[in-house]
Amino acid sequence: MAVLADVVLQPAFPAAEFDREKKLALDGLGQQANNPNAVANRVSFMLAFGLEHPYGRSPAGLPATVGSITREDLSRFHQAQWKPGSSALVFVGDVTLAEATALAKQHFGAWSGGAAPAVTIPPPQPVGPGKIYLIDRQNAAQTVIAHVLPAPPRASPEYAAVTLADAVYGGGGFGTRLNLNLREDKGYSYGVFSNASLLRQSGTIIASGGVQTDKTKESAAEFVTELKNLAGAKPITETELTAARLTKIRGYAQQFESLNRVSGQVINLWALGMPMMELQREPESLLGASLAAVNAAASKYAAPAGTTLLLVGDRSKIEAGLKDLNAGEVVILDVEGRRVK
């Protein structure tokens, strides 16, 4: 606690350490640019929310933004943002509330300064839904395909229904529609899964996976088909919902297997502005979501017109096939999500 308090209250930002960390960050971004999965993940959020939207900006930054940061920027950020009124201390372990409170008062009792300025998150500004975006990675071993869907914020009453719909679609482990189709039935991929990121003000579901380059067109067609099925062409069945519900509820216990996982859950709820009672309510909400509610959420957020298809692969080998799909205009982007003219 003494070391933590010193770091929080009196950071030094030594020039040599700053330069070293900045170089490491830039090296990491360079490695990401050559990793199709990393590129697809980064650009998917840009397409979902907008290149300049807070949720669209990569947490790791971009070479231009990281390259321009100075040591003084860190100091100014600390002075403006690190405030006791917008901070939390989380203890998980063999410690009582009385002991934790005493430690907090001892090391942070003199910390003053109110709260950081409130941050306004604007509505999402999706980048051209209904199009196919392509990022060229010459000689890529495979094509990474990502389907980007809108989703509600974490506090939405639809949370449980969206979570379960996603669990049937691709976020429920091995036996999901996407994975069973592209891996088990077609053999185009080692695995295709989806992930729901439900944030404080908005959200997105991103389904992605690597596929054989020579089966890119066929794989993209299956992504489109599965989305249409989820949106209503093939409604979720009671059997699928039961399996998804069991997967989510049984897996929930894994989030309490270590102290780090427990603290992570608490921190996440605090950052989202959610009450801690959500830790108890999560299984109840998943049990209470009806089949009709889950299909309604699926139909609402999987509507193809509001979604975006992104591919990262060898353009010379896959572009013609994508045009043949007639699933939208093919737009070429660079690894930072900017349109290539």
26-80 pLDDT per residue, tens: 999 999 999 999 999 999 999 999 999 999 999 999 999 999 999 999 999 999 9
pLDDT > 90? residue 146: yes
Same domain, 85 and 149: no
Give the helix ranges, DSSP H, for 124-212.
159-166, 177-179
Measuring CA to CA, which residue among 146, 189, 193 is closest to residue 312? Answer: 146
User: What is the C-alpha separation between 201 and 193, in angstroms, rounded?
Assistant: 24
pLDDT > 90? residue 327: no
User: Is residue 325 assigned to a domain?
Assistant: yes
Measuring CA to CA, which residue among 137, 319, 321 is closest to residue 221? Answer: 321
Same domain, 84 and 166: no
Same domain, 314 and 254: yes
Same domain, 203 and 82: no
- 4-16: average pLDDT: 95
Q: What is the pTM of this model?
A: 0.94
Same domain, 139 and 282: yes
pLDDT > 90? residue 223: yes
Domain that holds residue 77: 2-33+56-108
171: domain CATH number? 3.30.830.10
Backbone phi, then psi, for 38, in 5-degree steps?
-65, -40
- 110-128: average pLDDT: 93
pLDDT-derived band at 166, boundaries 50, 70, 90: very high
Same domain, 241 and 320: yes
User: Is residue 119 assigned to a domain?
Assistant: no
Mean pLDDT of the chain: 95
Same domain, 304 and 160: yes
User: Is residue 46 assigned to a domain?
Assistant: no
User: Is residue 118 assigned to a domain?
Assistant: no
Same domain, 81 and 213: no
Asked if residues 126 and 308 have their Cβ atoms less than 8 Å apart, the reply is yes
Same domain, 151 and 80: no
pLDDT > 90? residue 11: yes
pLDDT-derived band at 130, boundaries 50, 70, 90: confident
Paired residues of 310 in beta bridges: 133, 146
User: Is residue 125 assigned to a domain?
Assistant: no
User: What is the C-alpha separation between 158 and 23, in angstroms, rounded?
Assistant: 43
Helix (H, G, I), strand (E, B) or coil at 184: helix
For the chain, the farthest-separated pair of C-alpha atoms sits apart, in whole angstroms, at: 67
pLDDT value of position 291 = 98
Backbone phi, then psi, for 271, in 5-degree steps?
-65, -30
Backbone phi, then psi, for 200, in 5-degree steps?
-70, -40
pLDDT value of position 243 = 96
Same domain, 78 and 151: no
Same domain, 252 and 288: yes
In one-letter notation, the amino acid at residue 101 is T
User: Is residue 341 assigned to a domain?
Assistant: no
Number of domains in the chain: 2
- 80-97: average pLDDT: 96
Measuring CA to CA, how many Å separate 202 from each of 59, 182, 243? 17, 29, 27
Asked if residues 182 and 192 have their Cβ atoms less than 8 Å apart, the reply is yes
- 288-304: average pLDDT: 97
User: What is the C-alpha separation between 47 and 126, in angstroms, rounded?
Assistant: 6
User: What is the C-alpha separation between 50 and 285, in angstroms, rounded?
Assistant: 31
User: Is residue 25 assigned to a domain?
Assistant: yes
- Over pLDDT 90: what percentage of the chain? 96
pLDDT value of position 162 = 98
Same domain, 302 and 166: yes
User: Is residue 73 assigned to a domain?
Assistant: yes
- 310-328: average pLDDT: 94
pLDDT value of position 128 = 82
CA-derived radius of gyration, the chain = 22
pLDDT value of position 129 = 86
